[in-house]
Amino acid sequence: MPPIPASAAPNSNATPVFSNVCAVVMAGGSGTRLWPESRRDRPKPFLPLLPDGRSTIAATFARLDGLVPPERRFVVAGRSFAPLVADALPELEPRRTLLEPCGRDTAPCVAWAALEALQVDENATLIVLPSDHLVRPDATFRAALAQAVRLVEENETRLVTLGVVPTEPSSAYGYIEIAEALSADRSDAYVVRRFREKPDVETARRFLESGRFFWNAGIFVWKARRILELIAQFEPELGATFARIAPLVADAASNGRSTADNPTFVREFSNAKRISIDYAVLERAPNVVVLRAPFDWDDLGSFAALERSFAASKTSGSQTLNEVDGNVATGAELIAENARGSFVRVLSSPDAPSKRRKLVALVDVDDLLVVETDDALLVAKKGNDAALRRLVDRLKSDGRDAYL
């Protein structure tokens, strides 16, 4: 089949109004590749990673303005992160904060959010968003989501995902292989042939050359009732768990309480099967459609991605960026002598004592990653995420939990 054609962005000036749309932002992810900045008690969605100093969860929530009313937005996070959610999203209604008693991956997360959305609207269409993505511009993103919602409203059995046109043969992302176009008059929506796991670089290169693959951005739109039906069909055990949870959600909603406070819910959710929504449903379901994402997108899961975001926003935001021979520093002054291409971040916790900005001097070195927090200093060659994971595993095995 011919490769994915280019197309114009959707009309980003329109402000769509959907009476039955809800959205859930998933605030999971430990951010291992962002250590020492990301820690267990302050994972990456809550860190001020964006060039303007905002957290990615705050940016994701705000990105829904004009599309989904605040009272129809949910956030799913671990119970211990309740203060972080409240601090990052003061506008979020407390009853819309879904606090998981433990992490069970995305299928249980989606199932719970779908049940909660059905309490808001019995015919709810649910938008599912990760909380750690960089998207530009917001208006184009909203217009694309509006198109996805329309595709679901046209056919309520559809599952719609947004796919990003690959720019490089990356092994960091899952891929979506397309079949034919959804219809003759749509050049931006395709029937999904299959989902492919994160490939090695050579396989990714073949995917890229074929022109038949998108990156899987993990952004979904579907009917809340439909996704629950499919979970029950493909994962009967998990479906049975949420059939037992459903009356607990309804009772909490009718009485103005939080489902998460119910001990029976805590027990049922904690015993739910741990599985992603991709494995549980998307890789098995019929009528899955991918809509080409017309916006700029990046997954801020590594320092390489973080560096790209700062390079694209050198003059924006409130953080100071200093460049010397291609080096970028945040939170510090930087001087380089015969040194190029390093990424430097010097960070202090909000309650750290005030002190002068630190001077970081680089001499006769290239392509370094230098990250300093209050209690840790990382110096590494850029681009080796696997080594950073091994380092974090080493800290775990050595019992150095204070640094995790």
CATH code, domain with 147: 3.90.550.10
Instruction: Specify the 3-state DSSP secondary structure of 23.
Output: strand
- The domain tally of the chain equals 2
Low-confidence ranges of the chain (pLDDT < 50): 1-2, 8-9, 11-13, 315-325
In Å, the largest CA–CA distance within the chain is: 66
The CA distance from 121 to 273, in Å, is 27
Instruction: Let me know if 395 is exposed, middle or buried by CB neighbors in 10 A (0-12, 13-18, 19+).
Output: middle
Check residue 2 and give its pLDDT.
Answer: 47
| Contact by Cβ (8 Å): 105, 205 | no
* R_g of the chain, CA atoms, integer Å: 22
The whole-number pLDDT of residue 302 equals 81
Question: Are 103 and 241 contained in the same domain?
Answer: yes
Q: Measured in Å, how far apart are the chain's first and last C-alpha atoms?
A: 48
Residues 67 and 151 in one domain: yes
pLDDT for 336: 82
The helix or strand, by DSSP H or E, that contains position 76, with its residue range, turns out to be strand 73-78
Q: Residue 107 domain-assigned?
A: yes
Give the pLDDT score at 13.
Answer: 45
Neighbours of 350 (CB within 10 A): 5
Q: What is the pLDDT of residue 37?
A: 87
Say what the pLDDT of residue 41 is.
86
Q: Quick check: is 44 in a domain?
A: yes
49 and 191 housed in the same domain: yes
pTM (global) more than 0.85: yes
Evaluate the CA torsion angle 169, 174, 179, 185 in order and state its sign. negative
The residues facing 336 across adjacent strands are 362
Residue 387, pLDDT score: 86
Residue 186: per-residue pLDDT: 78
On whether both 361 and 287 belong to a single domain, the answer is no
Of 101, 38, 107, give the one whose Cα is nearest residue 282: 107
Q: Which domain holds residue 273?
A: 21-299
Question: Are residues 205 and 237 part of one domain?
Answer: yes
How many CB atoms sit inside 10 A of residue 398's CB? 9
CA dist 213 → 147, 210, 377, 403 (Å): 20, 7, 39, 39
Alpha helix segments (H runs only) across 155-254: 201-210, 224-234, 236-254
Does 98 map to a domain?
yes
